[in-house]
Each structure stands twice: as structure tokens, then as C-alpha cells.
Chain A
Amino acid sequence: MSVDQATVRRIARLARIAVTDEEVPHLMGELNAMLSFVEQLSEVDVTGVEPMTSVTPMAMKKRVDQVSDGGYPETVTGNAPMTEDHYFLVPKVVE
């Protein structure tokens, strides 16, 4: 399988990464190099093979559903590019 320029733009959109018109052909070449490298996987017979979900077999540990930490909004928002009154600020999303 290989990708065309329209698919590259669609992937970039899904990944939320802006790409310029000049970058698209180059990215297409790189993505196709990777896809042609992984193409060999199609020759493996995987009939009836369980897909791996956990490399080290273990029971999922669970914790009590209760607040265990917090109460320091300054610290939580300390690295944010834009904040106001302990809220993260983003461009308007609802008119």
C-alpha cells in the first residue's frame, strides 16, 4: 500500500500537524518508504494468532476511586502558555 498527496494531507489533518504545499511531496516519499519497508509483514501467516496486548503477563492493578492528590492549582497550571484564575485559556470554541 502507498499514500498519495491527498492522503498525506488527510493524515496531517488527523494528526493536527500543519503541512505546507511544498512539504507534501517530500512527506509522501518518506511515508511511502516506511510503508514499503513494513510491506513484508503481509507474508507472515497470522491465522489464529492472538494480538499482543500485554508483553508481561499480569493482572491489571486497580486503585480505589477517590481523590488522592491535588489542591494546588498554581502548580497544575504553572507550565501553561496562557492561564487566567487557574483556568487554561484556549481560543474561543463556542460562538
Chain B
Amino acid sequence: MTDLTHMTLADARDALKAKTISAAELTEAHIAAVEAARPLGAYVLETADQARVMAKASDEKIAKGHAGPLEGIPLGIKDLYATKGVRTTACSKILENFVPQYESTVSSQLWRDGAVMLGKLSNDEFAMGSSNETSAFGPVASPWTPPNWSTEKAKAALASDKKGLLVPGGSSGGSASAVAAGLCLGATATDTGGSIRQPAAFTGTVGIKPTYGRCSRWGIVAFASSLDQAGPIARTVRDTAIMLRSMAGHDPKDTTSVDREVPDYEAAIGRSVKGMKIGIPKEYRVDGMSAEIDALWTKGANMLRAAGAEIVEISLPHTKYALPAYYIVAPAEASSNLARYDGVRYGLRVPGKDITDMYEKTRAAGFGPEVRRRIMIGTYVLSAGYYDAYYVRAQQIRTLIKQDFEKAYAAGVDAVLTPATPSPAFGIGEKGGADPVEMYLNDVFTVTVNMAGLPGLAVPAGLSADGLPLGLQLIGRPFDEETLFSLGEVIEQAAGRTKLPEAWWA
């Protein structure tokens, strides 16, 4: 049965269509794998009964020849997506009992196309984090084990506090861990500053953050609305292309979703990249970058050159300001978005002596330390007397960051190649304890893309000297996800598919 959980989404789709496997058996194999992997903590809610009903319906549709593009494909859903009648918490205590009465647009499109829901996946609380350690359900372990750890040692850590095991990245850590561990064929995720690409890079999986406006944000718990985008994590570039086609599209319920046709992204796989101009931004060669990451980047450029692309050095001069500007814009928007958690209409309520006391006690009890910190910094930068100095300035810098990319694209660059992360995955409990900024630096290569609203794809490109996955990032022109899929597959083919870990946890 393990074969079924290690197929690619594309192969499973073809086997279902050819009726060599059934949706019911594919789903059963995944339900068993999910149950056996509970100690990893990737799923915060399993919906096995619902999955069985959906799989049965898929088999009937396949038999009648009415299969949708994702018919019978078992997926995991990040717990930031509202799922009708299925508890959705954003992995926060303040939403611990929230059962949405509606379905997010993106997940509804996956069900429309025949996908099967296995359950809800862990994430950093309200998607604020880069290691999945801020989840109210506790940390998620990566299926990759730390260098030189025996299976016994890893199992012992998994049975206790998980300390020392590797983080899957964040905020979409449950999604990345589940995809890498064979607990679904693909997963939904969201990306505000790197939350799809960094976990994909840490786990040897593929993730794409589409252009801002490509996917509807309706029904996805909001973090920073001008930066948030939905996207998939899967095991191959092709699999993410298949998923994105179903996830993308115009939605009248989200005014920032773009009314623009969704291309057949899968058709971009295998398309020639000959003659494409790939920019290498010199400002991404940051101080203290490891020789290993630098070498991986050069290797990636050589792979694209070997496929006929032209490699050019470019300059994105405002790169270093993207992360600090992000830590004004994102908390400011979060402080406003999270004002709705007041203990009145839904979620946790702690009684108080008057209404203000009730609000204050509810929010103190319901939000974890990272969320509270970001709401407070956001409140501060928006407060009277500081708005211009912080918020307006950060939005001006955001304009400059976007202009940097526009100049490169105007000069004929088709896509930009960068490392996805400054290092391979680190250990649970290792970072951010004393200084929150230490954790934030994880997103130094990914955050520019959100600030400029561009599409970005993370693809595995090799292993570190210690045997851990490392990823590269491709950044595209607005709404040119297709070029990223074509280039990403070239790197995937040249680097060879990453061999994912065996199920040591079971």
C-alpha cells in the first residue's frame, strides 16, 4: 500500500483515469499513512469519514466518465482555509472551536474538480512564523531527521517534546511535512512572506506562491491582506501546476482577485526555456551566506544555462530593505485584521467586568506570544504620530522594491533565480527564543516577492553536505506562472527528484 502514498499526483490521476487504482483504495492508503504519522503532528484534524464518502463519489464519477481534473486525489488543507462544517482554527486558541458555515473559494474549487479532503494541516498561529512552532497544537516535525541521528533517537524525541528534530519550516509547516512524508498527494498552503516557499525548500518539496490576485483570498483566515496569497505544495513541479489550475481564478467575493483566464499550467511543463534571460540579483549574495548555498545557486544557474537559457547579472538595489519594511506592513495589516477576534461573534470569550475588560482578557488568553507581539508592533506603527514615519515610509519602500523588479523585466529578464532560504532546516527549539528577528531572517530571500506581488516558485535543487534538502527560488513576471513551471521543471530534471525519507516514524 505504501506505493500509493508515494505516487506523484499526476501519476495517481492517470492511474485513476485508467482505472488501474480506485479512489477508495488510494484514499484508504492515505488514511492509514496519516494515522501512522500522528506523532509528526502534521494534521490537526483528520476527516477520514468525509474522505471515504468523497472517494466513493469520485469512483462513481470516474465509472460514469464524468471525472474532474483532480478526481479522487487525496489532499490536505491548511487550517487557515475555512471548510464548511469542519473545524478551522488557524492553529490559534482564539478560534479553537470555530466551525465555519461556509467554504473558502479555493478549497471549494478543489472539491468541484473532484479532490478528496483528508483533513486539516497545522500551521504557525495565524500563519505568523517560519518554523511551525507557534501553532497552538504544538510544533510539527519534519520527516527529515537531523544529520547523524539514529531512528531510535528520532523516535524518542518524537515521543517527548520533539526538541532537536527538524522544523518543516513555516508557516505552512503541516502542509510541507505531510507532502514530504507521503500523508497526501498535495496540500494547500498560503504565503505572506515566504510561508509556501520556505517550508517547501526545507522539506524537499515544491511550492508556488502565485501572483497577488491569482487566487481568491475569500474564506482564508486573513493575516496581511495586501500580501497573502494561496498556493499549493506538492512533490513535483508538474503536481503544483495541476493543483494551481484548480485553485486559481476570478472570484466576485474577493475584489483583489483578478478577472483573467487561468492557463493550462501543466502544458508549460517541458516547454523549451531556450533563449530565456534569467537574472541573478547580486544583492541576494548576502553577508554570511554559506558557501554551500552559494554553490547551489551557481549550480542552478548552470542547469538553466545547459538548457539554453541566458544567465545575466542584475541589480535589485532595495532588496535589503524588503524584510524590515515587511515587518511594518505585515504587522500593521495584521493588527487591523485581527481586531475582529473580540469574543463576541465567534471564538474564545473570557468574561470581564465590562466590555473592554472582556476584550482585553479574551485577546490576552486567545493569542500566543508571536501573534500578540505582531499585533502590538502593528498597533504602534499605525498609532498617531508614528504613521508617517513607519507605515507610509514602508509603503514607499515597497514601491521602490516593485520598481526594482519592473526595471529588470523591462530590460528583458524573463525570470529571476535566487536561493530559497539562507540555510537548510534547523532544529525545533533552536531559533528565535531570545530575539524574534533571528527567526524573521529566514524569509530574507522570499519576502521581496510578496512585497512586489510577484509569483515565486521554490524547487528542490540538491542536498546539503549533511544530507538535508536545499531549494532554489524562481521569481516571475506578474501572472507568468507558466515560465516558472517550465524553468522549475528544468531544475527538477537536472537535479534529480529528491528522494524523500522512509517512514521511520511509523
Residues of B within 8 A of A13 (CB): 360
Q: Give the nearest-CB partner of B398 in chain A.
A: A52
Q: Which among A18, A33, A76, A91 is the interface contact of B355 at CB below 8 angstroms? A: A91
Instruction: Check A41 against B436 for contact (C-beta < 8 Å).
Output: no
Residues of B370-428 whose CB lies within 8 A of A: 372-373, 375-377, 379-380, 383, 386, 389-390, 392-400, 402
Task: Say yes or no for A15: interface residue by CB 8 A criterion.
Answer: yes
Assess whether B327 is in contact with A80, with CB atoms less than 8 Å apart. Answer: no
A16-B363, A31-B373, A37-B440 known; A46+B256 contact, CB < 8 A: no
- Chain A residues near B353: list those with CB within 8 A: 91
How far, in Å, is A47 (CB) from chain B's closest CB? 9
Q: Of the candidates B335, B354, B373, which one forms a contact with A27 in the assembled complex, judged by CB atoms under 8 Å apart? A: B373
CA A37 to CA B320, docked complex, whole Å: 12
Cβ-defined contact, A91 with B393, below 8 A = no
The reply on A49 being an interface residue by CB < 8 A is: yes
> From residue 6 to 41 of chain A, which have CB atoms closer than 8 A to chain B?
7-8, 11-19, 27, 30-31, 33-35, 37-41
B458 to chain A, nearest CB (A): 20
Determine if A51 and B396 form an interchain contact, defined as CB atoms under 8 angstroms apart.
yes
A-B contact count (CB 8 A): 164
- Are A17 and B453 interface neighbours, CB within 8 A? no
Is B452 an interface position by the 8 A CB rule? Answer: yes
Known: A56-B211, A56-B256. A17 touches B393 (CB 8 A): no
Q: Which of B9-17, B163-171, B343-351 contacts A (4 or more CB under 8 A)?
A: B343-351
A50 touches which of B259, B379, B396 (Cβ 8 Å): B396
User: How far does the alpha carbon of A58 sit from the alpha carbon of B348 in the complex, in Å?
Assistant: 38
- How far, in whole Å, are A14 and B321 apart by their CA atoms in the complex? 28
- Cross-chain contact A51 with B345 (CB below 8 angstroms): no
| Residues B355 and A44 in contact, CB atoms below 8 Å apart | no
Assess whether A80 is in contact with B363, with CB atoms less than 8 Å apart: no
Q: Which residue from B99, B342, B379 sits with its C-beta under 8 Å from A79?
A: B99
The answer to whether B346 and A80 have CB atoms under 8 Å apart is yes
How far, in Å, is A56 (CB) from chain B's closest CB? 4
Chain A residues within an 8 Å CB radius of B435: 33
- Distance in angstroms between the alpha carbons of A17 and B397 in the assembled complex: 30
Please report the C-alpha to C-alpha distance between residue A58 and residue B343 in the assembled complex, in whole angstroms.
36
Given contacts A15-B335, A18-B364, A81-B347, contact A38 B395 (CB under 8 A): no
Complex: A7 Cα to B478 Cα, angstroms: 41
Interfacial chain A residues near B342, Cβ < 8 Å: 16
Given contacts A18-B361, A46-B400, A91-B352, contact A12 B376 (CB under 8 A): yes
Interface residues in B322-352 (C-beta closer than 8 Å to A): 324-325, 327-328, 335, 339, 342-349, 351-352
Task: Give complex CA distance A8, B380 in Å.
Answer: 9
Whether B379 lies near A15 (C-beta < 8 A) is yes
Q: Is A93 an interface residue (CB 8 A)?
A: yes
Within the complex, which residue of A31, A40, A90 is in contact with B377, where a contact is CB–CB below 8 Å? Answer: A31
A19 touches B364 (CB 8 A): yes
**For residue B97, which residues in chain A have a CB less than 8 angstroms away from its CB?**
79
Q: A17-B360, A18-B357, A44-B393 are in contact. List 11 more A-B contacts (CB 8 A).
A: A11-B376, A11-B380, A13-B360, A18-B360, A18-B361, A27-B373, A46-B400, A55-B451, A63-B252, A81-B349, A91-B354
- 27 CB contacts below 8 A, A to B, read A11-B379, A16-B342, A27-B376, A30-B373, A31-B376, A31-B377, A31-B380, A33-B435, A34-B327, A37-B437, A40-B321, A40-B324, A41-B321, A41-B324, A42-B393, A44-B321, A44-B397, A46-B393, A54-B226, A55-B453, A56-B211, A58-B213, A60-B255, A61-B252, A77-B345, A82-B349, A88-B344
